[in-house]
């Protein structure tokens, strides 16, 4: 287990019989965070399985960072952990654009900042239910978060070996690299034959 310091982040996973129960606990811990506001490091997501057993993120909260140069960037912490535990989810997030680079940075921290045993426990806990709740927070919220998760069938949590400040630095770097890549791709889109048809890609929300 990682050393628990003030800026050490904890990941909690809870499983539920249905998504409504997970959403109820999600709203409870999000309300707790907004009421206490003792830390800026909080993120949560609800996942659910479809009829084919595939996992999807159905609701998420992303608290903007308040660390160094990464001020204002969305954490996406719970998304990153979900991407590690369920790789197809991570592929879907990356394919959606924008968030892919920062999710990759977070997923890298999550996979390297927790033991294989902890990751296995988190994944197995979520896999036991039809829906799940993933929350990431600092240690000063630990007792209150656990007390407000009331409808779960199973719950497990693990401290990580990565600190909020270090993660914020990587997020800022990933964001800068993503913007640089977008800028470098623009000139290639300007060279098109007058006879070539324009291709439009429809994207959903």
1-33 pLDDT per residue, tens = 444 444 578 899 999 999 999 999 999 999 988
- At a CB cut-off of 8 Å and minimum separation 6, what does 134 contact? 11, 12, 13, 44, 45, 46, 47, 78, 81, 82, 85, 122, 126
pLDDT of amino acid 70: 47
Let me know: does 161 contact 110? Beta carbons within 8 Å: no
Q: Is 55 exposed, middle or buried (0-12, 13-18, 19+ CB in 10 A)?
A: buried
**More reliable by pLDDT, 127 or 163:** 127
74-97 pLDDT per residue, tens = 557 788 788 888 876 655 555 455
Q: State the pTM of this model.
A: 0.72
Backbone Cα Rg of the chain: 18
99-156 pLDDT per residue, tens = 555 666 677 767 777 888 998 999 999 999 999 999 988 888 888 999 999 999 999 9
44 has pLDDT over 60? yes
Residue 62 pLDDT grade (very low, low, confident, very high; cuts 50, 70, 90): low
């Amino acid at each position: 287990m990682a050393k628990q310091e003030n800026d050490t982040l904890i990941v909690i996973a809870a499983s539920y019989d249905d998504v409504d129960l997970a959403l109820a606990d999600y709203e409870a811990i999000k309300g707790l965070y907004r009421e206490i506001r003792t830390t800026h490091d909080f993120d949560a997501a609800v996942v659910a399985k479809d009829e084919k057993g595939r996992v999807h993120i159905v609701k998420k909260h992303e608290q903007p960072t308040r660390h160094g140069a990464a001020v204002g960037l969305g954490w996406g912490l719970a998304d990153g952990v979900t991407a590690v535990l369920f790789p197809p989810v991570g592929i879907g997030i990356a394919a959606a654009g924008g968030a892919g680079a920062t999710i990759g940075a977070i997923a890298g921290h999550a996979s390297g900042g927790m033991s294989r045993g902890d990751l296995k426990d988190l994944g197995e806990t979520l896999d036991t239910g039809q829906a799940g709740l993933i929350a990431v927070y600092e240690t000063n919220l630990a007792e209150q978060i656990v007390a407000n998760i009331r409808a779960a069938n199973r719950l497990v949590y693990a401290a990580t070996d990565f600190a909020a400040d270090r993660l914020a630095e990587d997020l800022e770097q990933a964001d800068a690299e993503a913007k640089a890549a977008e800028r470098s791709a623009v000139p290639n889109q300007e060279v098109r034959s007058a006879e070539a048809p324009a291709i439009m890609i429809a994207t959903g929300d």
